Amino acid sequence: MTVETGRAPSTEELPLSFTGGRSAQRNEPQIVSFGGGHGLYAALRAFRLITDSLTAVVTVADDGGSSGRLRQEMGGLPPGDLRMALAALCDDGEWGRVWRDVIQHRFTSAGHLDGHAVGNLLIAALWQLNDDHVEGLDWIARLLRAHGRVLPMSSVPLAIEADVVPPAGGTPQLVRGQSVLAKTPGRVAEVRLVPGAPPARAETIEAVGAADVLNLGPGSWYTSVMPHLLVPELAHAIQESSALKSLTLNLGAAPGETADLTLVDHLQSLHLHAPRLHLDYVLVDAVAAAKEPTLPAIAESLFGAQVRTHPLTSRRPRQHDSLKLAACYRDMLLDSGLLEEDQW
C-alpha cells in the first residue's frame, strides 16, 4: 500500500487485516444507538454482545475539557464523545484492549498536553489529513478493529443553550454551553441547538433508514440524549422509521442538569421537545421504576410505549451495568422477533 505524504488513504486502500469486527451475517439485527459519553459507552458495550451490525450516533456539542480545547484551537467537531464510542466498540482481543487503553489515555504534564486524551489528538490528526469527519472516524475504527461504526449526529460543531429556571423559581435564565449546562442547578424549561437547524450527516440518515432497532439513551439528558431530536433531518428520520424504537432511561436524577427530575419528568420533557416521537419500549432499572408507579401509564400515553423493567445498576453509583443492559436488550429483541435464541 502506498500512502502519499500529507494524505491518509481512502478506506478502500486499507489492508484487510485492519478491517473491523463487523460480521457478514445478514440475520443479525442492525442497531443504531444514540447518545454520548458514559451512557452511550454502556449501551454500546451491551449491544455489541448481541450484534456486530451496530452504529453509534454521537452528539457533537461538547465544549469542555480536551474536546473543548481542541475545538477552540482547531475548529471542527469535538472528538471526545466520538472517542468514547470508539473505545466501547474495541475488539476484546489483545489488539483491541491495547488500543482502547491508548486512545483513552490522558496525558499528565506541566505543559499544553496536560489533560488531553490521546484518542482526541489522533482523531483530530486524521480529520486534518482527510478533511472528512466520517472517513477519519472509519480509519480509527479499523485501527481498533471496532465492532461497529461511529458517526456524528451532525456535520457541523454545535452549541447547546437552555432556559433554566433557578432552584428558587422565578424567570428562566439563558445558559449556553454543554459544560456549563451540565453543572447549572435548576430546572431546564427548554433546550436548543445553535445553529438552530443543523445539517445531519448523510451516513447517519442512511444508518437510521437501514436500522432494525433505534435506541436513545442512557446519558446526560439534555446534553447527550435530547440533542439528537433537535436536528430536524435526524429527528424526522427517527420519527418516520419503522424500526423498533427503545428509550433506555437513566437511573434517576443526576447532579446538575437533572438534579430534581423524576423519571416521569424525563419522559415529559422528552415529549415536550419531540411531540411526534413514538417509542415501542421504555427500558428502566427495576429499583428506579418501583419508586414511580405512574411511569407505565405516562410512557403509554405520551409515546405509546411499553415499560420493561430489569435490574440495570452497576456497582458504581449512577451507572448502568453493560452485562445487565445486554440481558435487557436481548429479552426485548427476542420478544420482538428480531433475535433468535440460537443467535445469543
Strand residue runs (E) in the chain: 31-35, 54-58, 149-152, 159-165, 173-176, 187-194, 213-216, 244-248, 281-285, 306-310
Residues 98 and 223 in one domain: no
Q: Does 211 share its domain with 72?
A: no
Q: Tell the burial category of 154 from Cβ atoms under 10 Å away from its Cβ (0-12, 13-18, 19+).
A: buried
The pLDDT tens digits for 277-291 are: 999 999 999 999 999
Are 214 and 292 members of one domain?
A: yes
Q: Are residues 35 and 130 in the same domain?
A: no
Owning domain of residue 101: 61-152
Residues 50 and 162 in one domain: yes
Above pLDDT 70, what percent of the chain? 92
Count the domains in the chain.
2
Task: For residue 295, give the nearest of 266, 324, 321, 273 by alpha carbon.
Answer: 266
17 is a domain residue:
no
Q: What is this structure's pTM? A: 0.90
Angle at which helices 65-74 and 118-130 cross, to 10°? 30
Average pLDDT on 245-266 reads: 89
Tell me what pLDDT residue 23 has: 41
The whole-number pLDDT of residue 169 equals: 87
Q: Please tell me whether residues 142 and 183 are part of one structural domain.
A: no
**What pLDDT does 343 receive?**
62
Check residue 114 and give its pLDDT: 78
* 169-182 pLDDT, tens digit each: 899 999 999 889 98
Q: How many CB atoms lie within 10 A of CB 209?
A: 13
Residues 134 and 207 in one domain: no
Checking if the pLDDT of 269 tops 90, the result is yes
- 219 and 322 housed in the same domain: yes
Domain stops at, among 152, 171, 202: 152
Final residue of a structural domain among 133, 152, 171 = 152
Residue 74 confidence (pLDDT) above 60: yes
Instruction: Please check whether residues 316 and 268 belong to one and the same domain.
Output: yes
Pull the grid cell for residue 300: 403509554
The predicted structure's pLDDT at residue 63? 85
Contact yes or no for 148/54 (Cβ under 8 A): yes
Q: What is the pLDDT of residues 7-62, one digit of tens each?
A: 444 444 443 333 333 344 457 999 999 999 999 999 999 999 999 999 999 999 98
Quick one: pLDDT at residue 304? 98
Give 96's Cβ-side CA count (13 Å radius): 16
> Would you say residue 4 lies in a domain?
no
pLDDT for res 25: 47
